[in-house]
Protein backbone atom coordinates (compact mmCIF):
# COMPACT_ATOMS: atom_id res chain seq x y z
CA UNK A 1 0.00 0.00 0.00
CA UNK A 2 1.35 3.48 -0.91
CA UNK A 3 2.27 5.68 2.01
CA UNK A 4 -0.68 7.68 3.38
CA UNK A 5 -2.92 6.33 0.58
CA UNK A 6 -5.76 5.79 3.02
CA UNK A 7 -5.83 9.53 3.74
CA UNK A 8 -6.18 10.77 0.14
CA UNK A 9 -9.05 13.26 0.03
CA UNK A 10 -11.77 11.00 -1.34
CA UNK A 11 -13.82 10.99 1.86
CA UNK A 12 -14.16 12.85 5.14
CA UNK A 13 -11.62 11.24 7.46
CA UNK A 14 -11.14 12.07 11.12
CA UNK A 15 -7.48 12.58 12.08
CA UNK A 16 -6.73 11.17 15.53
CA UNK A 17 -5.73 13.56 18.29
CA UNK A 18 -2.13 13.58 19.49
CA UNK A 19 -3.07 11.92 22.79
CA UNK A 20 -4.98 9.17 21.01
CA UNK A 21 -2.20 8.76 18.45
CA UNK A 22 0.37 8.56 21.27
CA UNK A 23 -0.65 4.99 22.12
CA UNK A 24 0.43 3.90 18.63
CA UNK A 25 3.59 6.05 18.73
CA UNK A 26 4.94 4.75 22.04
CA UNK A 27 8.72 4.57 22.14
CA UNK A 28 11.17 2.40 23.96
CA UNK A 29 13.15 3.99 26.80
CA UNK A 30 16.59 3.22 25.34
CA UNK A 31 18.20 2.62 28.73
CA UNK A 32 21.11 0.68 27.25
CA UNK A 33 22.30 3.56 25.06
CA UNK A 34 21.61 6.12 27.79
CA UNK A 35 23.75 4.14 30.24
CA UNK A 36 26.67 4.34 27.82
CA UNK A 37 26.10 8.05 27.27
CA UNK A 38 25.83 8.79 31.00
CA UNK A 39 29.40 7.57 31.44
CA UNK A 40 30.76 9.93 28.78
CA UNK A 41 32.01 12.61 31.16
CA UNK A 42 33.92 9.97 33.09
CA UNK A 43 36.14 9.08 30.13
CA UNK A 44 36.91 12.47 28.59
CA UNK A 45 40.23 11.44 27.09
CA UNK A 46 38.46 8.70 25.17
CA UNK A 47 35.52 10.93 24.26
CA UNK A 48 37.79 13.53 22.64
CA UNK A 49 38.89 10.94 20.09
CA UNK A 50 35.46 11.30 18.50
CA UNK A 51 36.37 14.78 17.19
CA UNK A 52 39.48 13.56 15.36
CA UNK A 53 39.73 14.08 11.59
CA UNK A 54 40.28 10.34 11.27
CA UNK A 55 38.14 7.74 12.95
CA UNK A 56 40.20 6.33 15.86
CA UNK A 57 40.92 2.62 15.68
CA UNK A 58 41.88 2.16 19.35
CA UNK A 59 42.41 3.96 22.62
CA UNK A 60 45.24 3.67 25.13
CA UNK A 61 44.99 3.42 28.88
CA UNK A 62 47.57 2.92 31.63
CA UNK A 63 47.57 -0.51 33.23
CA UNK A 64 47.39 -0.86 37.00
CA UNK A 65 49.78 -3.22 38.77
CA UNK A 66 50.54 -2.22 42.38
CA UNK A 67 54.19 -2.84 43.27
CA UNK A 68 54.80 -5.27 46.15
CA UNK A 69 56.71 -4.07 49.19
CA UNK A 70 60.20 -5.56 49.53
CA UNK A 71 60.31 -5.62 53.33
CA UNK A 72 64.04 -4.86 53.37
CA UNK A 73 66.45 -1.94 53.00
CA UNK A 74 68.75 -1.67 50.00
CA UNK A 75 71.53 0.60 48.75
CA UNK A 76 70.29 0.22 45.19
CA UNK A 77 66.57 1.08 45.15
CA UNK A 78 64.84 0.71 41.78
CA UNK A 79 61.33 1.51 40.69
CA UNK A 80 58.85 -0.81 39.09
CA UNK A 81 58.03 0.22 35.53
CA UNK A 82 54.47 1.07 34.64
CA UNK A 83 52.85 0.10 31.36
CA UNK A 84 49.98 0.94 29.01
CA UNK A 85 47.77 -1.09 26.70
CA UNK A 86 45.78 -0.42 23.55
CA UNK A 87 42.14 -1.41 23.20
CA UNK A 88 40.71 -1.79 19.69
CA UNK A 89 37.47 -0.04 18.76
CA UNK A 90 34.85 -1.75 16.60
CA UNK A 91 32.76 0.78 14.71
CA UNK A 92 29.18 0.38 13.55
CA UNK A 93 27.11 2.54 11.21
CA UNK A 94 23.45 3.47 11.60
CA UNK A 95 21.52 5.42 8.95
CA UNK A 96 18.04 6.78 8.36
CA UNK A 97 16.37 8.33 5.33
CA UNK A 98 13.36 10.51 4.59
CA UNK A 99 11.94 11.83 1.34
CA UNK A 100 10.11 15.16 1.07
CA UNK A 101 7.98 14.90 -2.06
CA UNK A 102 5.86 17.91 -2.99
CA UNK A 103 3.28 16.18 -5.20
CA UNK A 104 2.57 13.51 -2.60
CA UNK A 105 0.68 16.06 -0.52
CA UNK A 106 -1.33 17.67 -3.31
CA UNK A 107 -4.43 15.51 -2.90
CA UNK A 108 -3.87 14.33 0.65
CA UNK A 109 -5.35 15.28 4.01
CA UNK A 110 -1.82 15.52 5.41
CA UNK A 111 0.31 18.48 4.38
CA UNK A 112 3.94 18.08 3.32
CA UNK A 113 5.03 19.29 6.76
CA UNK A 114 2.72 16.86 8.59
CA UNK A 115 3.91 13.93 6.52
CA UNK A 116 7.53 14.91 7.17
CA UNK A 117 6.93 15.02 10.93
CA UNK A 118 5.48 11.50 10.82
CA UNK A 119 8.30 10.18 8.64
CA UNK A 120 10.97 11.74 10.86
CA UNK A 121 9.35 10.32 13.99
CA UNK A 122 9.39 6.84 12.48
CA UNK A 123 12.98 7.25 11.28
CA UNK A 124 14.46 8.51 14.57
CA UNK A 125 12.61 5.82 16.52
CA UNK A 126 13.98 3.15 14.21
CA UNK A 127 17.52 4.48 14.58
CA UNK A 128 17.27 4.59 18.37
CA UNK A 129 15.85 1.03 18.44
CA UNK A 130 18.79 -0.20 16.37
CA UNK A 131 21.31 1.49 18.69
CA UNK A 132 19.56 0.06 21.75
CA UNK A 133 19.77 -3.48 20.38
CA UNK A 134 23.47 -2.94 19.65
CA UNK A 135 24.12 -1.47 23.12
CA UNK A 136 22.47 -4.34 24.97
CA UNK A 137 24.20 -6.90 22.76
CA UNK A 138 27.54 -5.29 23.60
CA UNK A 139 26.84 -5.43 27.34
CA UNK A 140 25.86 -9.09 27.11
CA UNK A 141 28.77 -10.12 24.90
CA UNK A 142 31.34 -8.28 27.01
CA UNK A 143 30.03 -9.20 30.46
CA UNK A 144 32.62 -10.22 33.01
CA UNK A 145 33.72 -13.85 33.10
CA UNK A 146 35.26 -13.50 36.56
CA UNK A 147 33.48 -14.70 39.70
CA UNK A 148 33.03 -11.91 42.27
CA UNK A 149 30.36 -13.55 44.42
CA UNK A 150 30.88 -13.38 48.19
CA UNK A 151 28.37 -16.07 49.12
CA UNK A 152 25.43 -13.69 48.75
CA UNK A 153 24.85 -14.78 45.15
CA UNK A 154 25.65 -17.92 43.15
CA UNK A 155 28.12 -17.76 40.27
CA UNK A 156 27.06 -19.41 37.02
CA UNK A 157 30.25 -19.95 35.06
CA UNK A 158 31.04 -22.00 31.95
CA UNK A 159 29.23 -19.96 29.27
CA UNK A 160 26.50 -18.33 31.40
CA UNK A 161 28.69 -15.85 33.27
CA UNK A 162 26.21 -14.27 35.66
CA UNK A 163 25.51 -14.12 39.39
CA UNK A 164 22.14 -15.55 40.49
CA UNK A 165 20.33 -14.10 43.52
CA UNK A 166 17.88 -16.37 45.36
CA UNK A 167 14.19 -15.41 45.07
CA UNK A 168 13.97 -15.23 48.87
CA UNK A 169 16.36 -12.25 48.72
CA UNK A 170 14.31 -10.23 46.21
CA UNK A 171 14.10 -7.29 48.62
CA UNK A 172 17.88 -7.17 48.83
CA UNK A 173 18.85 -7.33 45.16
CA UNK A 174 20.68 -4.03 45.14
CA UNK A 175 22.19 -4.49 48.58
CA UNK A 176 23.69 -7.82 47.49
CA UNK A 177 24.94 -6.38 44.20
CA UNK A 178 26.57 -3.42 45.89
CA UNK A 179 28.12 -5.57 48.62
CA UNK A 180 29.74 -7.93 46.11
CA UNK A 181 30.82 -5.13 43.79
CA UNK A 182 32.50 -3.29 46.68
CA UNK A 183 34.32 -6.48 47.64
CA UNK A 184 35.66 -6.50 44.07
CA UNK A 185 36.91 -2.90 44.64
CA UNK A 186 34.15 -1.15 42.66
CA UNK A 187 33.55 1.59 45.20
CA UNK A 188 32.03 4.25 42.94
CA UNK A 189 28.39 4.87 42.00
CA UNK A 190 27.02 2.30 39.59
CA UNK A 191 24.74 2.21 36.55
CA UNK A 192 22.04 -0.45 36.75
CA UNK A 193 20.47 -1.46 33.41
CA UNK A 194 17.36 -3.58 33.90
CA UNK A 195 14.16 -4.82 32.27
CA UNK A 196 10.50 -5.02 33.21
CA UNK A 197 10.31 -7.65 35.98
CA UNK A 198 12.54 -5.68 38.33
CA UNK A 199 10.31 -2.61 38.49
CA UNK A 200 8.07 -4.41 40.97
CA UNK A 201 10.93 -5.43 43.28
CA UNK A 202 12.58 -2.00 43.18
CA UNK A 203 9.31 -0.12 43.70
CA UNK A 204 8.50 -2.24 46.74
CA UNK A 205 11.66 -1.07 48.49
CA UNK A 206 11.70 2.50 47.14
CA UNK A 207 8.17 3.89 47.14
CA UNK A 208 7.18 2.70 50.59
CA UNK A 209 10.30 4.04 52.28
CA UNK A 210 9.83 4.18 56.02
CA UNK A 211 6.39 2.63 55.58
CA UNK A 212 7.94 -0.77 54.96
CA UNK A 213 8.02 -3.24 57.83
CA UNK A 214 11.75 -2.87 57.35
CA UNK A 215 13.02 0.33 55.74
CA UNK A 216 14.98 -0.89 52.71
CA UNK A 217 14.98 2.41 50.83
CA UNK A 218 18.64 3.15 51.51
CA UNK A 219 19.68 0.52 48.93
CA UNK A 220 18.66 2.98 46.23
CA UNK A 221 21.32 5.61 46.87
CA UNK A 222 24.21 3.77 45.21
CA UNK A 223 22.73 3.37 41.71
CA UNK A 224 21.64 5.25 38.61
CA UNK A 225 18.78 3.41 36.86
CA UNK A 226 18.37 2.75 33.14
CA UNK A 227 15.32 0.90 31.87
CA UNK A 228 15.54 -1.02 28.61
CA UNK A 229 12.81 -2.70 26.57
CA UNK A 230 15.45 -4.95 25.03
CA UNK A 231 15.14 -7.96 27.35
CA UNK A 232 18.27 -9.84 28.38
CA UNK A 233 16.82 -13.12 29.60
CA UNK A 234 18.78 -15.75 31.48
CA UNK A 235 17.46 -19.29 31.86
CA UNK A 236 15.45 -19.92 35.07
CA UNK A 237 15.50 -16.25 36.07
CA UNK A 238 13.45 -13.07 35.79
CA UNK A 239 15.98 -11.73 33.27
CA UNK A 240 19.37 -10.10 33.47
CA UNK A 241 20.50 -6.96 35.27
CA UNK A 242 23.71 -5.34 34.08
CA UNK A 243 25.70 -3.43 36.68
CA UNK A 244 28.53 -1.14 35.60
CA UNK A 245 30.66 1.14 37.82
CA UNK A 246 30.64 4.79 36.74
CA UNK A 247 33.27 5.28 34.04
CA UNK A 248 33.20 1.62 33.04
CA UNK A 249 31.57 1.95 29.61
CA UNK A 250 31.64 4.49 26.80
CA UNK A 251 29.90 5.21 23.53
CA UNK A 252 31.99 7.04 20.94
CA UNK A 253 30.41 8.77 17.96
CA UNK A 254 32.07 10.06 14.83
CA UNK A 255 31.14 11.73 11.53
CA UNK A 256 33.45 12.83 8.76
CA UNK A 257 34.72 16.45 8.89
CA UNK A 258 32.81 17.18 5.63
CA UNK A 259 29.52 17.08 7.55
CA UNK A 260 30.65 19.37 10.39
CA UNK A 261 30.92 22.50 8.26
CA UNK A 262 27.31 22.80 6.96
CA UNK A 263 28.34 23.53 3.38
CA UNK A 264 25.72 23.56 0.58
CA UNK A 265 26.91 22.79 -2.96
CA UNK A 266 24.26 23.51 -5.58
CA UNK A 267 21.44 21.01 -5.10
CA UNK A 268 23.32 19.09 -2.39
CA UNK A 269 24.15 19.90 1.21
CA UNK A 270 26.26 18.36 3.95
CA UNK A 271 25.56 19.26 7.57
CA UNK A 272 24.85 18.07 11.10
CA UNK A 273 21.60 17.32 12.93
CA UNK A 274 20.96 16.50 16.60
CA UNK A 275 18.52 13.63 16.97
CA UNK A 276 15.52 14.39 19.27
CA UNK A 277 15.55 11.10 21.21
CA UNK A 278 19.15 10.61 22.33
CA UNK A 279 20.76 13.98 21.61
CA UNK A 280 23.46 12.54 19.34
CA UNK A 281 25.03 14.55 16.51
CA UNK A 282 24.30 12.90 13.17
CA UNK A 283 25.80 13.69 9.79
CA UNK A 284 23.17 14.86 7.30
CA UNK A 285 23.23 14.75 3.52
CA UNK A 286 20.45 16.36 1.45
CA UNK A 287 19.93 16.14 -2.28
CA UNK A 288 17.23 18.02 -4.21
CA UNK A 289 16.08 16.77 -7.61
CA UNK A 290 13.42 15.08 -9.69
CA UNK A 291 11.99 11.71 -8.74
CA UNK A 292 9.13 9.41 -9.70
CA UNK A 293 7.03 9.26 -6.48
CA UNK A 294 3.87 7.71 -7.93
CA UNK A 295 4.42 4.63 -5.74
CA UNK A 296 3.86 6.78 -2.64
CA UNK A 297 1.02 8.94 -3.97
CA UNK A 298 3.18 11.49 -5.83
CA UNK A 299 3.91 12.20 -9.49
CA UNK A 300 6.16 11.04 -12.33
CA UNK A 301 8.26 14.21 -12.15
CA UNK A 302 7.98 15.18 -8.51
CA UNK A 303 10.24 17.71 -6.81
CA UNK A 304 11.97 15.57 -4.23
CA UNK A 305 14.27 16.33 -1.31
CA UNK A 306 16.06 13.19 -0.19
CA UNK A 307 17.75 13.36 3.19
CA UNK A 308 20.00 10.77 4.77
CA UNK A 309 21.25 10.88 8.36
CA UNK A 310 24.13 8.74 9.58
CA UNK A 311 26.27 8.09 12.63
CA UNK A 312 29.39 6.02 13.17
CA UNK A 313 29.41 4.64 16.71
CA UNK A 314 31.59 2.42 18.85
CA UNK A 315 30.71 0.89 22.21
CA UNK A 316 33.62 0.11 24.46
CA UNK A 317 34.50 -0.55 28.09
CA UNK A 318 37.40 0.22 30.37
CA UNK A 319 39.88 -2.67 30.17
CA UNK A 320 40.82 -4.70 33.24
CA UNK A 321 44.10 -6.60 33.05
CA UNK A 322 43.73 -8.51 36.32
CA UNK A 323 42.06 -10.82 37.16
CA UNK A 324 41.83 -12.59 33.81
CA UNK A 325 38.41 -12.48 32.18
CA UNK A 326 37.06 -9.62 34.29
CA UNK A 327 35.35 -6.60 32.75
CA UNK A 328 33.50 -3.79 34.54
CA UNK A 329 30.21 -5.14 33.10
CA UNK A 330 28.73 -7.54 35.66
CA UNK A 331 25.51 -9.46 35.08
CA UNK A 332 23.09 -10.45 37.83
CA UNK A 333 19.68 -12.11 37.79
CA UNK A 334 17.00 -13.06 40.28
CA UNK A 335 16.08 -16.75 40.32
CA UNK A 336 12.39 -17.58 39.83
CA UNK A 337 12.28 -20.15 42.64
Query: Considering only CA atoms, which of 195, 178, 176 is closest in space to residue 240?
Result: 195
Q: Is the pLDDT of residue 130 over 80?
A: yes
DSSP label at 203?
Answer: H
Please give the average per-residue pLDDT across 255-261, as a whole number: 85
pLDDT score at 8: 41
pTM of the model: 0.84
Q: Which CA distances in Å does 196 have to 29, 171, 199, 239?
A: 11, 16, 6, 9
Query: Considering only CA atoms, which of 194, 210, 214, 213 is closest in space to residue 202?
Result: 194
Could you tell me the residue range of the domain that residue 310 belongs to? Answer: 252-316
In a domain, 284, yes or no: yes
pLDDT score at 18: 60
| DSSP of 85-142 | EEEE---EEEEEEEEEESGGGTTBSS-HHHHHHHHHHHHHHHHHHHHHHHHHHHHHHT
- Mean pLDDT, the chain, integer: 81
Q: Is the pLDDT of residue 66 over 80?
A: no
In a domain, 285, yes or no: yes
Q: Is the pLDDT of residue 42 over 50?
A: no
Query: Considering only CA atoms, which of 298, 281, 282, 279 is closest in space to residue 290?
Result: 298
Distance CA 289, CA 295 (A): 17
In a domain, 312, yes or no: yes
Q: Is the pLDDT of residue 51 over 80?
A: no
Distance CA 33, CA 40 (A): 11
- At 143-171, the pLDDT tens digits run 999 999 999 999 999 889 999 999 999 88
Into how many domains does the chain fold?
1
Of the pLDDT bands very low, low, confident and very high (cuts 50, 70, 90), residue 58 is: confident
Amino acid sequence: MANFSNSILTAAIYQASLDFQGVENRDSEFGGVKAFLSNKSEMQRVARLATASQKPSSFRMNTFAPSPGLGALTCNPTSASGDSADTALTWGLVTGEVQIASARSGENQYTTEEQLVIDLKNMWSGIADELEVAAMAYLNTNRSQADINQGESTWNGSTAYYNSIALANKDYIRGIINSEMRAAKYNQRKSLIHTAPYDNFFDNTDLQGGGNARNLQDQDRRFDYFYTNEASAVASTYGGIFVVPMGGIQMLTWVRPTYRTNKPTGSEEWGMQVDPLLGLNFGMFKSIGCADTTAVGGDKQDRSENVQFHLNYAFTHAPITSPSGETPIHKYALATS
